[in-house]
């Protein structure tokens, strides 16, 4: 959680480090607001299914519950207090599906001609008017039609991601502070917000140690989470755009996700792999028989399907300039070092 008092991570640092973030510009054209497809039925000419995802932690990950407990309560007797993550009944770490959905939506918005999902009222006048959140459920931008908006549920959802092994590691985050007031020029262009802010991936996350850092429960490199992405009534281009966001447009745009807290110091890098796709074999039979089984795609069949959808996304929906800007920030692997001092 940030405070209002700006301060570097390392007070002895004299030369500011490179900014750990970059702005992805807004498209020049206004978003095309359209009526979303209905949710009353499954449309035969649309895509429906379940993507099975594996998320591999690349740098230390902490998705906070907002709860602080005694270290002894979670098996860390040497730590007085520690910030927690969600844990299952068997002690495995959990990432809420809503957190994953928010991460994926922010990237989806950036590479399509979409509005912002949520803004703080105090900054409303700083946002270009065409980027203000959609308020009419009959006139929605590309991201809102898929992820939802006011009075519109959306067409996808993530299950909670569960770690495949029990336990966690204790990490020690540095204190993070809001930007200096004079840094405003980094965010504005001609008096308006210049774009969407994304943090770079780095080769590791900063850990300040028990004497200086804030203790947190975290997943470390090579921890593996699994989750499912359920979708219905997506166009092929919308499905393809989701696959690009999940890093499947390789080798052109090998991006990874940034999840949880500590993004400025390199935390939260997760690489996604899609292992299986379940599709209804026959929508009518799904409701007429208890024995209806979905078609499962894996291996080469899955790759062919994904590449076809990704190609359609490039043709119809994805903004090439914004995708390239975004890929320059979120590309992974990377050789970028995290900022240890001022930036």
- Looking at residue 285, its pLDDT comes to 64
- Looking at residue 179, its pLDDT comes to 73
List, for residues 137-194, the tens digit of each pLDDT value.
999 999 999 999 999 999 999 999 999 999 999 999 998 887 766 666 778 887 889 8
- Looking at residue 12, its pLDDT comes to 45
Vertex 46, ends 40 and 51: CA angle to 5°? 100
Q: Quick count: other Cβ atoms within 10 Å of Cβ 97?
A: 17
For helices 236-245 and 299-316, angle between their N-to-C axes, nearest 10 degrees: 110
Q: Does residue 257 contact residue 274 with C-beta atoms inside 8 Å? A: no
List, for residues 100-131, the tens digit of each pLDDT value.
999 999 999 999 999 999 888 888 889 999 99
End-to-end CA distance of the chain: give it in Å, rounded: 18
pLDDT at 9 over 60: no
The torsion angles phi and psi of 62, rounded to 5 degrees, stand at -140, 115
List, for residues 33-82, the tens digit of each pLDDT value.
999 998 888 898 999 999 999 999 999 999 999 999 999 999 999 999 99
**Where residue 92 falls among pLDDT bands split at 50, 70, 90?**
very high
- Looking at residue 182, its pLDDT comes to 61
Whose structure tokens read 């007070």?
A: 11
pLDDT at 234 over 50: yes
- What percent of the chain is predicted at pLDDT more than 70? 91
Taking the C-alpha atoms of residue 72 and residue 337, their distance in angstroms, rounded to an integer, is 34
- Looking at residue 254, its pLDDT comes to 95
Instruction: Put residue 190 in one of left, alpha, beta given phi > 0 → left and psi -120 to 50 → alpha.
Output: left
- Looking at residue 44, its pLDDT comes to 87
**Where residue 243 falls among pLDDT bands split at 50, 70, 90?**
very high
List, for residues 290-305, the tens digit of each pLDDT value.
777 788 999 999 999 9
pLDDT at 96 over 90: yes
Q: What percent helix, strand, coil does the chain show, rounded to 5?
A: 25, 25, 45
List, for residues 316-341, the tens digit of each pLDDT value.
999 999 999 999 999 999 999 998 87
Cis peptide before 251 (omega within 30 of 0): yes
- Looking at residue 91, its pLDDT comes to 92
């Amino acid at each position: 959680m940030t405070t209002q008092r700006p301060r570097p991570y390392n007070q002895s640092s004299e030369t500011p480090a490179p900014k750990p973030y970059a702005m992805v510009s807004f498209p020049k054209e206004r978003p095309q607001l359209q009526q979303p497809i209905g949710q009353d039925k499954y449309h035969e000419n649309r895509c429906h299914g379940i993507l099975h995802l594996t998320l591999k932690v690349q740098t230390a990950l902490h998705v906070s519950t907002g709860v602080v407990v005694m270290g002894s309560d979670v098996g860390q007797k040497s730590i007085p207090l520690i910030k927690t993550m969600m844990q299952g009944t068997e002690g495995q770490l959990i990432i809420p599906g809503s957190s994953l959905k928010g991460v994926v939506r922010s990237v989806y918005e950036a590479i399509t001609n979409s509005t912002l999902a949520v803004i703080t009222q105090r900054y409303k006048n700083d946002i270009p008017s065409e980027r203000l959140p959609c308020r009419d459920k009959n006139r929605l931008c590309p991201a809102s039609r898929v992820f939802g908006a006011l009075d519109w549920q959306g067409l996808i959802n993530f299950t909670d991601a569960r770690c495949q092994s029990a336990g966690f590691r204790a990490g020690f985050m540095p204190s993070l502070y809001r930007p200096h007031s004079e840094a405003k020029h980094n965010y504005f262009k001609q008096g308006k917000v210049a774009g969407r802010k994304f943090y770079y991936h780095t080769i590791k996350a900063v850990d300040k140690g028990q004497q200086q850092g804030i203790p947190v429960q975290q997943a470390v490199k090579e921890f593996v989470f699994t989750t499912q992405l359920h979708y219905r009534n997506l166009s092929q281009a919308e499905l393809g755009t989701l696959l690009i966001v999940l890093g499947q447009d390789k080798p052109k745009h090998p991006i990874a996700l940034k999840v949880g807290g500590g993004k400025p110091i390199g935390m939260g890098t997760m690489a996604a792999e899609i292992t299986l796709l379940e599709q209804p074999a026959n929508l009518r039979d799904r409701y007429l028989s208890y024995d209806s089984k979905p078609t499962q795609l894996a291996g080469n069949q899955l790759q062919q399907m994904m590449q076809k959808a990704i190609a359609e996304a490039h043709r119809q929906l994805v903004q090439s300039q914004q995708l390239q800007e975004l890929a320059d920030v979120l590309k992974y692997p990377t050789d970028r070092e995290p900022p240890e001092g001022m930036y």
